[in-house]
A and B are shown apart, each in its own frame.
Chain A
Amino acid sequence: DAKTTQPNSMESNEEEPVHLPCNHSTISGTDYIHWYRQLPSQGPEYVIHGLTSNVNNRMASLAIAEDRKSSTLILHRATLRDAAVYYCTLYNFNKFYFGSGTKLNVKP
């Protein structure tokens, strides 16, 4: 069912920007791109979403490729609290399709 592919893990230094990539080559025109993150022993937490244009909010930025077949979640300054599993998901008809996510490790 997973329609997204992400690297299994990434590492970043604290206070540096992080770019988390996601491929979704089979995306349909009505699929929204959502990002969630999951801290240990917690439920997923909404981060950001978009359809075609790049999006910014207080947590992150989302850059969407022109053909929409890939996207990148950008954390502008990683903190230790950003260490989590980040899921890129597609949303359509009231359903999310979650992949296996990227485990982000942030080094002090």
Chain B
Amino acid sequence: DTAVSQTPKYLVTQMGNDKSIKCEQNLGHDTMYWYKQDSKKFLKIMFSYNNKELIINETVPNRFSPKSPDKAHLNLHINSLELGDSAVYFCASSQERLGRGYTFGSGTRLTVV
């Protein structure tokens, strides 16, 4: 059983399209995150939700909108995709806010052409 699962694993789409990435965790964690990993392998936090409430919203274009229907799911919707959105997007979850490890999903490689 995969602890944090993301779908799809690969996503190729044209500029201007709208797409969604889904994430589900079966660990019973109360906090979920979206991270973006660029071509230089830097990982940067985008959003964090705790029990369906948005607690972190980094400087991300408002074309990106997270949605958490329940604490086990955190989806990422992206409007009007641009070339610069091409990256690997990782979902993660954790139980406690301070000083505990995250469990990451295996990533979604988004390519905008």
Which residues of A does B touch, CB under 8 Å?
1-2, 32, 34, 36, 41-46, 49, 51, 85, 87, 91, 94-96, 98-101
Range of interface residues on B (Cβ < 8 Å) = 20 to 34
Q: A43-B107, A100-B41, A101-B41 are in contact. Are A95 and B90 (CB under 8 A)?
A: no
Specify which chain B residues have a CB less than 8 angstroms from the CB of A42 in the assembled complex: 106-107
Specify which chain A residues have a CB less than 8 angstroms from the CB of B100 in the assembled complex: 49
Specify which chain B residues have a CB less than 8 angstroms from the CB of A34 in the assembled complex: 101
CB distance from A28 to the nearest CB of B (A): 14
Cβ-Cβ contact count across A and B, 8 Å cutoff: 54
**Residue pair A44, B43 in contact (C-beta under 8 Å):** yes
Give Cα A91 to B44, complex, Å.
Answer: 13
**Residue pair B31, A43 in contact (C-beta under 8 Å):** no
What are the interface flags for B89-112 relative to A under an 8 Å C-beta threshold, 1 for contact and 0 otherwise?
010100001111111111100000
Specify which chain B residues have a CB less than 8 angstroms from the CB of A32 in the assembled complex: 98-99
Give the most central of B40, B44, B48, B99: most A CB within 10 Å: B99
**Residue pair B42, A98 in contact (C-beta under 8 Å):** yes
